[in-house]
Amino acid sequence: MSKTLYLPDHVAQKINKERAEKSSPTSLESAYVKSDERVLDPSLLEKPLLERLPQPTGWRVLVMPYQGKAKTKSGLYIPDEVRERESVATVVAYVLKLGPLAYKDPGKFGEDAQPWCQEGQWVCIGRYSGSRFKIDGGEVRIINDDEVIATLLEPDDVHHV
């Protein structure tokens, strides 16, 4: 024996509207991918870390902030937390990659301007400058090409204040 429930039209319309909103592909929940459905590209795992680093676009420069030495001259070990905090506020960085348009703006650098820095150089940058990204083995920053203040021979030549 089945029972039938009779509803007023306005209540039935409200229930149908709520069901449609839940199954609607424009809802906010449908914009996210479930963590168990994410696909990992195994071809990237074979490549070394240097190739997997973010590629700077345009006039940007990819740098890795200097973390400092783990041990002082007198033999004291510096905790990792202190070294990590100092690397966030550091003004010294190592240039990993240059974007394709870095130092090529004639209005900013002149017609025959040489790049201010090259890959593999130590540079001074503005404190807290750039966008920070965590990677395996540390942190990298992407800065604009005109945020390079100076080039250095040795990163320990510049001390924090």
- The reported pLDDT for the residue numbered 1 is 61
Query: Which of 1-5, 93-97, 113-117 is predicted least confidently?
Result: 1-5
DSSP SS3 for 102: coil
- The reported pLDDT for the residue numbered 148 is 93
pLDDT tier, 58 (very low <50, low <70, confident <90, very high otherwise): very high
User: pTM of the prediction?
Assistant: 0.66
Report the distance separating Cα 49 and Cα 137, nearest Å. 9
Report the distance separating Cα 70 and Cα 78, nearest Å. 5
- The reported pLDDT for the residue numbered 33 is 62
- The reported pLDDT for the residue numbered 83 is 76
